[in-house]
Amino acid sequence: MESTGSTTSKSEKKENSLPKEHMKFLPSITEQQLDQKQNKKKLQSLFDKYLRPASVDGKTIDVQKEWGKQFKEAVAAMAKKDVADESIFIMDVIIYYLYHDIITDKSKYPKSVPFIDLPIEMIEFLIKKAQKQFEDERPLVQFEAPVKIFGDIHGQYTDLLHMFKEMGDKNKTEQQDYILSKNCRYLFMGDYVNRGKQSCEVICLLLALKVRYPTQIIILRGNHESQAITRIYGFFDEIKRRYKINLWQQFYTCFNHMPLVALIDEKIMCMHGGFSKDMHSFDQIESLPKPTDIPDSGLVADLVWNDPDEDVRDWEENERGCGWVFGRKQLDEFLKKHDLDLICRGHQVMEDGYGFFGKHKQLVTIFSAKNYCGDFDNDAAVMNVD
């Protein structure tokens, strides 16, 4: 278990060209039998011409509108210029602005992480590509360790940046600038939006990583990734204020395609809330309908809403108004029945960023938003499974 702390970053001189560290994130393009130099030159010129915010006398002008126009032109130009996969390049650009550009700038990171107003055209492109990725996944995602497991983030963008920075391969110089640790999956267990101030940045960075590294990044759905809950708890207001209502609709439509459960090495079951009393097999999860809104009750609702409770003997209705609570006995029975070692979930704030449940610690809650909402004094945690 790792807790996050603040780190200082090495400041790098910015040149008016595609950043050096950015070029390192384009291996899959260069692998596609294109002449490497030629391709890099193409990308470089596209980036310079279209993918920087338009500015006059060093001042950025109407970023969302002008930059968006440029972005559209860039996508069209890429098709013309025969860049092998424009979506990979666009994801690199988004990841660059949402991560590398910030953490390499001492004036921004870690003290004052800015709002990043990507052009709406770029976000719409991102949502479309991410939705396609989720459409290709079943509600149950199975894979092997090693994996880093994240709990709730709730729009706390600075925390997410800290965690990526802390989790990277620090000892290997050549990988120092990569956002992801090589040869390790990253599993996110839901609740990316609402509550915090920068839900848009959080979800855009995660979706861009999903599109860019589809098998390395696994994104599960939380109870907050729904139309009804985003309407009330902040995401709708943020998107309406910064963009337009229609973009919020595109986001929750995309959320409706997200998977619900991850199974690691057939022994660790991960979901946002908890297991359900209506779950009898993994085949049942596998064959859940997708896309789906989160209903008020039933298996899908239980998976994102349920909680463990030390004080209950049997299944009881959840005081949240949705889902159920279960006790140690139900946990033991469930693990035995499905031959599992551990349940891993988020959904509840934990003082140390994580907390165990059960006589033999067979359930762990991970929470990855530090000082949650400013109301809690909690740490954030990420769990490593080797």
> Which residues in this chain contact Mn ion in the complex, by CB under 5 A?
191, 222-223, 347
- Which listed residue (22, 100, 154, 224) is catalytic? 224
DSSP assignment, residue 131? Answer: H
Angstrom distance (rounded) from CA 6 to CA 241 = 30
Residue 130 CB-half CA count within 13 A: 31
Q: State in angstroms the smallest separation of the CB of 138 from Mn ion.
A: 22
Q: How far apart are CA 378 and CA 247, in angstroms?
A: 32
What is the residue whose two structure tokens read 């704030």? 349
**In terms of DSSP H, where are the helices of 60-110?**
63-81, 86-95, 101-103
Q: Tell me the C-alpha distance between 259 and 157, whole Å.
A: 22
Q: Which residue has the tokens 């920075």?
A: 165
CB-nearer residue toward Mn ion: 220 or 254? 220
Residue 368 to residue 349: CA distance in whole angstroms: 9
294-307 exposure pattern, b = at least 16 Cβ within 10 A, e = fewer? beeeebbbbbbbbb
Residue 272 corresponds to which tokens in the numbers above?
Answer: 């946002």
Q: Which residue has the tokens 């706390």?
A: 156
Q: Compute the least distance from the CB of residue 273 to Mn ion, in Å.
A: 7
User: Can you tell me the distance from the alpha carbon of 312 to that of 357, in angstroms, rounded to the nearest whole number?
Assistant: 13
**Residue 246 backbone phi and psi in degrees, to 5:** -60, -30
Taking residue 309's Cβ as centre, other Cβ atoms within 10 Å add up to 17
Torsion of CA 64, 229, 347, 254, to 10 degrees: -50
Quick check: is 22 catalytic? no
- In terms of CB distance, is 95 or 303 closer to Mn ion? 303
Active site residues: 224
